[in-house]
Homo-oligomer: A and B are copies of this chain.
Amino acid sequence: MTTEIRWPEPYVTEALRAVRDTSPLVFGLTNYITAGLNANMVLAVGGSPAIGGNPAAVRPLATAAGGVWINLAAQVTDSPELLLDAARTAHAAGTRWVLDPVTVGAGISVSDDLAAELIGSVPPTAVRGNASEIIALAGGSATSRGVDATATAEDAVPYARRLATRTGSVIAISGPTDYVTDGEQVVAVPGGHRWLTRVTGAGCSLGALVAAFLAPGTDPLRATVAAHAVLAVAAERSALISRGTGTFAANVLDELTILSEGL
């Protein structure tokens, strides 16, 4: 059963209001290319981001945070042990955490092994990836090239459902229409804009936004859907007033600010 959700669905606006009103600390491990935009997106919806793999800070932050996201692209600067440590700390502390399986299935075995270990030992509250990554995570075969997808989001839905059922995680697939599932319900989130794939870190920001939306205790499926629906409408509105990818990125942050402050 697939339902379609878009802004201003009441539970979406409610989830955004909860982020703004609680301003949760959201801790992320990601790579340096995406970190600035990820942090600015979280700030624009009212959260308090902290990013970075200082080993002395990972445990205190993963414990204190309301939500944690781990983007496997963090491996550019952080060791697999550090990422595992952050996930285990979040899991032990009861902190909801999000896995962004960037490069899984791309033929970089260290990523595949790390993702499998994370999902197997300390299952994330939610996983957010593109179609190829989700298919690969679910044990299917797909080719992924860096952060690009070659399979469609629709192709990945059955894999996402199986993965959600097996792990208990909410699984989200990014595409022209995004899909979010808990294994039973499938929610389609239309909207967004193709320029989100032409701004580095824009897609990865969904991992950070999902962590922010999970932090206030919102139902995990609804929180994950809400994060996607908020970015989708911000991107749609931004595209209407932008000439290219540069002002588009700035205007997406503006639109998130307006959505958050206007509630």
Contacts and interface: CB of A to CB of B under 8 A. Distances in A.
Nearest to A251: B246
A176 interface: no
Given A25-B145, A44-B244, A48-B146, A201 B254 contact: no
B64 A145 contact: yes
Interface in A17-65: 25, 31-37, 39-40, 43-44, 48-54, 56-57, 60-61, 64
A136 interface: no
B257 A253 contact: no
Interface stretch (A72-80, A84-92, A117-125): A72-80
A154 to B, nearest CB: 22
Q: How many copies does the complex hold?
A: 3
B146 A50 contact: yes
Contact of A33 (B39, B44, B250, B261): B39
Given A51-B33, A199-B40, A200-B49, A107 B245 contact: no
A76 B39 CA distance: 15
Contacts of A145: 25, 48, 64
Nearest to A32: B32
Interface residues of A, number: 62
Interface string A179-192: 00000000000000
Contacts of A64: 145
A93 interface: no
Interface in A106-153: 106-111, 145-148
Given A33-B39, A107-B60, A247 B243 contact: no
A249 interface: yes
A255 B253 CA distance: 19
Contacts of A195: 257
A233 interface: no
Given A40-B199, A51-B33, A110-B56, A257 B250 contact: no
A103 B33 contact: no
B249 A245 contact: no
A162 to B, nearest CB: 28
Pairs of residues from A and B, 5 with the lowest C-beta to C-beta distance, nearest first:
A246-B253, A244-B257, A244-B254, A246-B250, A52-B76
8 contacts: A25-B145, A43-B199, A50-B146, A52-B77, A56-B108, A57-B108, A244-B258, A245-B256
